[in-house]
């Protein structure tokens, strides 16, 4: 199992990335990311989606408050593969945190241009779950099904992608938080 490690200090500035993290970044369309370019920068500069930022913030606050660990599943898909991953956030000394992202399995698939960030885009938007990568249509469906239903095969420009969270992922994260112990006031809901 491949594992990628990143650490942040109490102010959420990146203090460490391991070689596996850098190799993964370069292999996934971010060749400019090096240890020298990211260390000393804010973690928040690398998490663009609001829903993802909010959940990272909740998880980080909980781990810091409890001194425990939270593990959450997610997908990090590319145009030609599905990557099933798990991220653990571990409490370190002085409010620092370690993010351990493990690649559980990877599945090849026919190319899906919708997942290529360099593909030309229209002004239309599609909502994708920031965690499981399903697309919201009349329910949440896998990206291949969304492409089929929307007739996006062989298009020269595709809709832009914005991120949200499907109900299944929201429920899974609430379960992860409950399993990690008491967090928030009575009746707290994500």
The share of the chain scoring above pLDDT 70, in percent, equals 93
Confidence of residue 8 (pLDDT cuts 50, 70, 90): very high
CB 106 within 8 A of CB 81: yes
Residue 186 pLDDT:
36
- Superfamily name with CATH number, domain 2-179: PAS domain (3.30.450.20)
* pLDDT > 90? residue 12: yes
Q: What are phi and psi of 3, to 5 degrees?
A: -135, 140
Domain boundary assignment for the chain:
2-179
Give the H or E element holding residue 102: strand 97-108
- What are all long-range contacts of 52-55, with beta carbons under 8 Å and residues at least 24 apart? 52/130, 52/131, 52/163, 55/130, 55/131, 55/165, 55/173, 55/190
pLDDT on residue 188: 36
Q: What pLDDT digit, counting tens, does each position of 123-182 carry? A: 999 999 988 999 999 999 999 999 999 998 888 999 999 888 899 988 888 887 777 664
Q: Which of the four pLDDT bands, split at 50, 70 and 90, describes residue 1? A: low
Alpha-carbon span 23 to 14, nearest angstrom: 17
Work out whether strand 2-8 and strand 81-91 pair parallel, antiparallel, or are unpaired.
unpaired
Largest pairwise CA distance in the chain: 52
- Of 32, 28, 21, 38, whose CA–CA distance to 117 is shortest? 28
**pLDDT for the residue 114:** 92
Dump pLDDT digits (tens) for 71-120: 888 898 999 999 999 999 999 999 999 999 999 999 999 999 999 888 99
Is the pLDDT score of 185 beyond 50? no
Q: Is the pTM of this model over 0.75?
A: yes
Supply the pLDDT for residue 29. 67
Euclidean distance between CA atoms 43 and 21, whole angstroms: 14
Say which residue, 132 or 33, is predicted with more confidence.
Answer: 132
User: What pLDDT sits at residue 65?
Assistant: 93
Q: What angle do CA 125, 128, 129 make, to 5 degrees?
A: 150
The strand pairing partners of 163, in sequence order, are: 128
Neighbours of 182 (CB within 10 A): 12
């Amino acid at each position: 199992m491949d594992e990628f490690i990143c650490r942040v200090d109490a102010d959420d500035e990146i203090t460490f990335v391991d070689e596996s993290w850098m190799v993964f970044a370069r292999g996934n369309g971010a060749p400019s990311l090096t240890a020298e370019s990211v260390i000393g920068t804010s973690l928040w500069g690398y998490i663009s989606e609001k829903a993802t930022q909010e959940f990272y913030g909740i998880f980080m606050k909980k781990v810091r408050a409890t001194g425990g660990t939270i593990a959450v599943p997610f997908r990090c898909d590319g145009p030609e593969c599905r990557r099933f991953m798990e991220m653990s956030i571990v409490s370190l000394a002085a409010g620092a945190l370690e993010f351990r992202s493990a690649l559980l399995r990877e599945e090849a698939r026919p190319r899906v241009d919708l997942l290529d960030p360099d593909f030309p885009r229209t002004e239309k938007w599609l909502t994708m779950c920031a965690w499981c990568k399903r697309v919201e249509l009349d329910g949440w469906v896998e990206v291949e099904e969304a492409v089929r239903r929307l007739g996006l095969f062989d298009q020269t420009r595709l809709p832009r992608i914005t991120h949200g969270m499907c109900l299944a992922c929201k429920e899974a994260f609430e379960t992860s938080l409950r399993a990690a112990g008491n967090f928030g006031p009575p009746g707290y809901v994500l």
